[in-house]
């Protein structure tokens, strides 16, 4: 939930989740103050509309199983704060992503504060604050989908190959992870209906598509563990980087 630049960044991140992670469009949704028109032009006064913030959250009908994330550089946008209050009233976990410390935190469960300092052009929060906000939103959605088993060995194995570029990328992923020749990897991917994760499960378990899909549903990424592999050896794991001091 956001207004202006913050709202547009939220819509952008939400719209990129289905093709990247194969998520349902309803899983990550976004609302911007002023509606669709505000995506391409400023809608004056929309960020001050608290009734719209409350109303937009009600449309989602969030429960305790949901997360509602407000995005506002200033931490004080009325539309966003009203949305978060309504979400918390309904039992959802609330998150506030901002670049200035909020004056009050009683209506959010989690605060993500990116201290970007003064803007290069005073008041233009689409610059430093906007850039930092995009990084934060990327981190939130990527971490969420990694935890949901949408990423395997650093690759987005649930991507939707909806165009030639993505189909080629999917075939490369299958070839890299199975160590199959490109032609064989492409055939395997075709047998899996273009689903990278399913192709991997078929290869590593020796099962047909229907059985491999069932194995994935029951075991998730554990279906690709070395102990379950029958037809290929896993590619060597990449060494982990150490964070901080040392070499």
In which band, very low, low, confident or very high, does the pLDDT at 245 lie, cut at 50, 70 and 90?
A: very low
- 246 band by pLDDT with thresholds 50, 70 and 90: very low
- What's the pLDDT at 239? 44
Looking at residue 117, its pLDDT comes to 85
Domain covering 150-247 in this structure, CATH number: 1.10.8.1080
Residue 198 has pLDDT above 80, yes or no: yes
pLDDT confidence band for 230 (50 / 70 / 90): very low
- Helix H or strand E segment including 202: helix 196-205
pLDDT at 4 (0 to 100): 93
What mean pLDDT comes out for the span 118-147? 90
Q: Which residues have a catalytic role annotated? A: 16, 47
Q: What is the mean pLDDT of residues 66-75?
A: 95
Which of 104-113, 126-135, 187-196, 219-228 has the weakest average pLDDT? 219-228
Residue 126 pLDDT grade (very low, low, confident, very high; cuts 50, 70, 90)? confident
Q: What architecture is the 4-147 domain classified under in CATH? A: 3-Layer(aba) Sandwich (3.40)
In the chain, where are the structural domains located?
4-147, 150-247
pTM: 0.81
What DSSP string describes 28-90? S---BTT-GGGGTS--TTGGG-HHHHHHHHHHH---TT-EEEEE-SSS--HHHHHHHHHHHHT
Statement: residue 244 has pLDDT above 50: no
In this prediction, residue 105 carries a pLDDT of 62
């Amino acid at each position: 939930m956001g207004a202006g630049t913050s709202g547009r960044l939220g819509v952008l991140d939400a719209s990129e989740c289905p093709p990247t992670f194969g998520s349902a469009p309803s899983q990550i949704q976004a609302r911007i103050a002023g509606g669709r028109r505000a995506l391409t032009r400023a809608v004056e006064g929309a960020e001050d509309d608290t009734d719209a913030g409350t109303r937009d959250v009600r449309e989602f009908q969030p429960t305790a199983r949901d997360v509602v994330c407000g995005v506002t550089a200033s931490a004080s946008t009325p539309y966003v704060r009203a949305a978060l209050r309504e979400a918390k009233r309904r039992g959802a976990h609330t998150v506030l992503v901002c670049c200035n410390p909020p004056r009050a935190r009683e209506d959010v469960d989690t605060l993500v504060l990116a201290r970007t300092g003064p803007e290069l052009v005073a008041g233009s929060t689409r610059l430093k604050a906007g850039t930092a906000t995009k990084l934060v939103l990327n981190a939130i959605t990527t971490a969420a989908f990694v935890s949901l088993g949408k990423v395997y060995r650093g690759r987005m194995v649930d991507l939707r190959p909806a165009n030639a570029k993505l189909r080629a990328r999917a075939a490369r992923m299958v070839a890299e992870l199975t160590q199959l020749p490109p032609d064989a990897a492409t055939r395997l991917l075709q047998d899996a209906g273009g689903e990278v994760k399913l192709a991997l499960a078929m290869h590593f378990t020796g099962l047909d598509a229907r059985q491999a899909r069932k194995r994935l549903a029951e075991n998730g990424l554990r279906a690709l563990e070395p102990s379950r592999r029958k037809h290929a050896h896993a590619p060597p794991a990449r060494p982990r980087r150490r964070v901080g001091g040392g070499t």
